[in-house]
Structure 1
């Protein structure tokens, strides 16, 4: 067959069109159900919840551990955040039977890795290995949970590194805005301590880190997820055997958050800043509320993805910003909405005006059927993508378990999204996105921005 000549070649525009106009997109087929995998969900005598799932896509296994790890003082005034950060950065430095090199060698021998992180709510462990190396991965995990020594020389090095990272991060506008927003929303609740102060880290001793591990790293209320090319029952039994020594104590759960109440935004002065950070937040509902699917779709229409009203207005039409978004922040105690954007100082007040305008417009001019359908397709697709890999599925299941939900929730959620009507999205938009429901902060150069913000109103200024 001869190749087409230049006279017979069609452009992309011609291929996508007919004499009557653009080709219509074919209708979407019915949403396929997500099959339930082979799974075991059990609670050990220690109080550790173990969820093991067979996903034989590749001969690997993913492990996720979430341990409630809250500050026992119940305030943001203690050194818990600093001690917890150093614990997470030195826990792999050695145990009573393994050096740091020994830990690395044992994991490398099974194609494995382990990583620890901590926040005000929980300590998290993420790891993977070849499926045949599950026993080794669990053995190393048990060793560091039960017998990490946190050597003083390692602590000294990590303390210096952590102080340097915190000092660099603390100068970042996004970090300043996040800290100010958390304090505006929750006062002195320990959830606001997402990053300790450098002076607090410098004061941490090795004895304090080792004492925190012994007193707070407990199995009761923790969740361990294993996903991979394994038999679920056998994997759960292996976990129970490997962690047989981790038996007593209830992990420390974060106390309930104070109610998020609507009030004026707070102007946080950042002298000389050439860019301003706008952060607005309001109460929402979590995954178990029947309104949650409609709220998700309304949020997407506002600013949850690129084809949204905020992006169209602030970025495409006004050119105020490169990025604007709205999102749902979920925790075991509830949920909040977050609307955020960064703009040049000279358009701080106009950008806030347009943000409030889009919130009000969503509430009184709800998403159209086309907007809802576009958001629906995006949301369902994102959910399905999150379950396609072992790593994504393990992280999703661990997150759900932290909220008291089983993996069936994520498999059933696409059907709930498909069932949402345009009227239900409109109701969610009116209920949750009215501008008067929000509070938050504006981090900006007050000398350049305060006058415009005062004229706009609804902002506490110096």
Structure 2
């Protein structure tokens, strides 16, 4: 006996036509979150939020970690790799064992702005998590053999990364936008890393791993005031009269020619367009967020429909805001086959102009509004997501209230405000950027205008 199955198209239709979609339910934001936002005596800002979905705690620490020395990025990377390998009280095995016994973990990373430490543990192991972290902050020893081991691994990873087209494009874009500003040193030179010694790492820790101006976010099955008291006790020995080092302000990104960066033999081109934007604190930000979604911020956006779905120029295209120490920029990205580099750039420029000339329709506005609100609620529905969102916001002076109120701001922004944001922020003349690809494409790109060789 054979069994027949209805296709998805058949299931979705009736004799009278397509089945109507059910109405969306009311989207409810997280309200009445029990939280504390305070600054400890040592200058550390602490945000503690009670969310009892699971008996865990999520931890995010952000320490401003800028440096103007060209070798700073190399030393900082090695520091992040070895911070949690040994302290005066624990070796690597003891650190891992103590965390494992409370279902916990800690990891560290660094970028030009900050040293970041993330972790979690069972709520019952909260004190152990804090003790291990405080031990690393105040007593990390950076053993010579650990530094050499992690330094050599880092050199190998950098060599591999530097061959990746996306990394080449990112570094070219950063130099084009910001010149020699420290913010551009997202990946250190392998030679600088190879020269790092344990003594230099210890010196950087003493000079820059500082509580004043730093941030600790804690989300979980904890009472916020009690959590703050336990944090203050655990970090009582972490003190300094100096403040953590912030990056200097970035120069404003101005529109102009795209820079063509040759990559001989490349079978793909990387297109990166960028323009100055506004931070989340600007009252126009909700309108810009929704305008960006219409343009290229999700799969059903105009840019994706054009150069991916319709013309097949790329598998990957997107646009998004990138928040910087002094503001924000817009980024538009696409990777295309070499032979369609010029046509893809032409269509990207066309969509930039069309967003202002042909404002988002009522249907588009409704779709992106629901998408933005729903995505935010999903991302903050877990302890992990909420902790990460708050850590990102708090770095720019925002907190729980902003996050709770943002769905309402998105719901209230008007179609006219979105159209105005589209017309202003997506004007093609505001954009600059880079194209990385095979040099055979230069003549086609220069024929479009607004592209110059490096």
TM interval, short-chain normalised: over 0.9
The match for 2:346 is 353
Question: Are residues 1:177 and 2:173 paired?
Answer: no
The match for 1:216 is 208
Aligned equivalents of 2:29 and 2:196: distance in 1?
Answer: 51
The match for 2:49 is 53
Q: How does 1:411-422 map to 2 (within 5 A)?
A: 411-422=404-415
Question: Are residues 1:160 and 2:156 paired?
Answer: no
Decide whether the 8 Å contact of 1:331 with 1:403 is kept in 2.
no
Unpaired stretches in structure 1, ≥5 consecutive residues: none
Q: What is the DSSP-based 3-state SS (H/G/I as helix, E as strand, rest coil) of the residue aligned with 2:58?
A: strand
The match for 1:332 is 325
Aligned equivalents of 1:34 and 1:88: distance in 2?
Answer: 34
Q: What is the DSSP-based 3-state SS (H/G/I as helix, E as strand, rest coil) of the residue aligned with 2:248?
A: coil
Decide whether the 8 Å contact of 1:36 with 1:408 is kept in 2.
no
Q: What is the DSSP-based 3-state SS (H/G/I as helix, E as strand, rest coil) of the residue aligned with 2:124?
A: helix
Aligned equivalents of 1:357 and 1:375: distance in 2?
Answer: 21
- How far residue 383 of structure 1 moved from its aligned partner, in angstroms, is 0.2
Runs of 4+ in 1 over 4 A off after TM superposition: 5-12
Aligned equivalents of 1:141 and 1:94: distance in 2?
Answer: 11
The match for 1:117 is 109
- Cα deviations across residues 102-146 of structure 1 (Å, max 9, x unaligned)? 111111111110000000000000000110111111000001111
Aligned equivalents of 1:11 and 1:48: distance in 2?
Answer: 58
Q: 1:200 to 1:421 in 2, by over 3 A?
A: same
Q: What is the DSSP-based 3-state SS (H/G/I as helix, E as strand, rest coil) of the residue aligned with 2:314?
A: coil
Q: 1:189 to 1:17 in 2, by over 3 A?
A: same
Decide whether the 8 Å contact of 1:65 with 1:398 is kept in 2.
yes
TM score, norm. by length of structure 2 = 0.97
Q: 1:266 aligns with which of 238, 253, 259?
A: 259
- How far residue 250 of structure 1 moved from its aligned partner, in angstroms, is 0.5
Q: How does 1:63-462 map to 2 (within 5 A)?
A: 63-73=59-69, 78-248=70-240, 249-446=242-439, 448-461=440-453
Q: 1:41 aligns with which of 24, 37, 45?
A: 37
Moved more, 93-102 or 25-34: 25-34
TM score, norm. by length of structure 1 = 0.95
Aligned equivalents of 1:364 and 1:354: distance in 2?
Answer: 15
Aligned equivalents of 1:278 and 1:158: distance in 2?
Answer: 34
Q: What is the DSSP-based 3-state SS (H/G/I as helix, E as strand, rest coil) of the residue aligned with 2:295?
A: helix
- How far residue 33 of structure 1 moved from its aligned partner, in angstroms, is 4.1
Q: 1:455 to 1:8 in 2, by over 3 A?
A: closer
Aligned equivalents of 1:42 and 1:425: distance in 2?
Answer: 35
Aligned equivalents of 1:213 and 1:440: distance in 2?
Answer: 36
- How far residue 19 of structure 1 moved from its aligned partner, in angstroms, is 4.0
Q: 1:241 to 1:318 in 2, by over 3 A?
A: same
**How many aligned positions are there?**
453
Aligned equivalents of 1:158 and 1:29: distance in 2?
Answer: 50
- How far residue 25 of structure 1 moved from its aligned partner, in angstroms, is 2.6
- How far residue 10 of structure 1 moved from its aligned partner, in angstroms, is 6.6
Q: What is the DSSP-based 3-state SS (H/G/I as helix, E as strand, rest coil) of the residue aligned with 1:302?
A: helix
Decide whether the 8 Å contact of 2:33 with 2:51 is kept in 1.
yes
Q: What is the DSSP-based 3-state SS (H/G/I as helix, E as strand, rest coil) of the residue aligned with 1:323?
A: strand
